[in-house]
């Protein structure tokens, strides 16, 4: 199996009458990720996602010719894809040997090129998730598979609550600290809106324990996941607020042994680019068997007592 570099063949960007709201400073995100990689990237979440990806792909009984790792913060998905596809391209957010450096919001690929696209723990930080999904779908061949995971709405709930209470107490008001995350219920609709068929979404809660809240913050920094919101406070975080947030965290979210926990919700989504060979839903009223017969129960009309 080969891993090659693909030259840019057009941006494939989507024209819009209105620009998407700028929630994240994407350039700052890339700088912080580069700093984290240079200092020793904390890859435990990404590695866990890669293991899960391999298990999920093992249920797909078909070969792939050209696969894309779309924006994952590290190359953990590449060995998984090399076991399933003839050729693997990696779109990396920061410079890496043998990759294409680019942005998920502006894919540098021509249409209908890939038959497998995956993205691990990156799409939660795009400003236009519907638009990014549309671009991914347009870069895929008919009957191609997209599979990705991103941080969901349950992630870092403990940290968000601790900072909110600390800022209200110390500073008399709260500022944006932790990024908003997509809700599981919305992602299936976004896949359909982007043009994917047979969409599937599910989520898993991972709980990671730390000796203290500062070690969690250290890991977030080592993942390049510190505050990159456009509306972040320019002056940064006050030491008194940070100390109080750590105290609240330890008071509210500690186990009996004194260690604190942090929750990460990993949301998985998958869909296929439409093709005539795929299953289609039946027309309403076209069923040839009754559900009551299949379940072995008596059918009851709504107007019966």
pLDDT in tens, 150-160: 999 889 999 99
pLDDT at position 68: 98
What value does the mean pLDDT take over residues 24-35? 93
Q: Quick check: helix, strand or coil at residue 71?
A: coil
Confidence of residue 230 (pLDDT cuts 50, 70, 90): confident
Candidate from 187-201, 223-237, 275-289 with smallest mean pLDDT: 275-289
Q: Quick check: helix, strand or coil at residue 31?
A: helix
What value does the mean pLDDT take over residues 141-166? 94
Strand-pairing partners, residue 66, are 87
Confidence of residue 192 (pLDDT cuts 50, 70, 90): very high
> Could you give the residue ranges of the DSSP H alpha helices within 77-235?
77-82, 129-138, 157-171, 184-193, 213-222
Computed on alpha carbons and rounded to an integer, the radius of gyration of the chain in Å comes to: 22
Altogether, the residues listed in the chain come to a count of 305
What value does the mean pLDDT take over residues 224-233? 83
pLDDT at position 281: 58
pLDDT tens column, 18-29: 567 888 899 999
pLDDT at position 231: 77
Cβ-contact 99, 15 below 8 angstroms: no
- Angle between helix axes 213-222 and 157-171 (nearest 10 degrees) is 110
Q: Per-residue pLDDT for 267 more than 90?
A: yes
Residue 120 to residue 268: CA distance in whole angstroms:
9
- Give the position of tokens 């908003």: 180
Nearest CA to 59 out of 270, 205, 203, 266 is that of 270
pLDDT at position 290: 63
Q: Per-residue pLDDT for 133 more than 70?
A: yes
Residue 263 to residue 161: CA distance in whole angstroms:
12
> Could you give the residue ranges of the DSSP H alpha helices within the chain?
26-39, 44-57, 77-82, 129-138, 157-171, 184-193, 213-222, 239-252, 291-295
Average per-residue pLDDT for the chain: 86
Cβ-contact 23, 230 below 8 angstroms: yes
Two structure tokens written together for 242: 């940070």
Cβ-contact 90, 70 below 8 angstroms: no
Classify residue 281 by its DSSP letter.
Answer: P
Residue 254's Cβ-side half-sphere holds a number of Cα atoms within 13 Å equal to 14
């Amino acid at each position: 199996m080969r891993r090659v570099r693909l030259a840019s063949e057009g941006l494939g960007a989507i024209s819009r009458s209105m620009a998407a709201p700028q929630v994240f400073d994407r350039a700052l995100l890339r700088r912080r990720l580069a700093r984290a990689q240079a200092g020793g990237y904390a890859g435990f979440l990404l590695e866990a996602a890669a293991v899960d990806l391999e298990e999920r792909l093992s249920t797909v009984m078909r070969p792939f010719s050209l696969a894309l790792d779309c924006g994952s913060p590290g190359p953990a998905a590449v060995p998984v894809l090399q076991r399933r596809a003839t050729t693997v391209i990696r779109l990396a957010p920061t410079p890496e040997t043998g990759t294409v450096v680019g942005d998920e919001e502006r894919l540098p690929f021509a249409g209908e090129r890939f038959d497998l696209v995956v993205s691990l723990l990156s799409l939660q930080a795009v400003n236009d998730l519907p638009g990014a999904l549309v671009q991914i779908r347009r870069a895929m061949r008919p009957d191609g598979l997209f599979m990705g995971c991103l941080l969901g709405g349950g992630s870092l709930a403990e940290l968000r609550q601790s900072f909110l209470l600390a800022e209200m107490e110390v500073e008399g008001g709260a500022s944006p600290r932790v990024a908003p995350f997509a809700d599981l219920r919305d992602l299936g609709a976004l896949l359909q809106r982007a043009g994917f068929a047979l969409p599937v979404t599910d989520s898993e809660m991972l709980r990671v324990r730390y000796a203290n809240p500062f070690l969690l913050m250290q890991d977030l920094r080592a993942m390049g996941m510190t505050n990159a919101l456009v509306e972040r406070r320019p002056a940064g975080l006050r030491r008194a607020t940070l100390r109080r947030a750590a105290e609240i965290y330890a008071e509210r979210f500690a186990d009996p042994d004194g260690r604190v926990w942090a929750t990460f919700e990993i949301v998985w989504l998958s869909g296929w680019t439409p093709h005539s060979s795929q299953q289609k839903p039946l027309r309403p009223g076209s069923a040839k068997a009754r559900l009551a017969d299949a379940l072995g129960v008596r059918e009851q009309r709504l107007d019966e007592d």
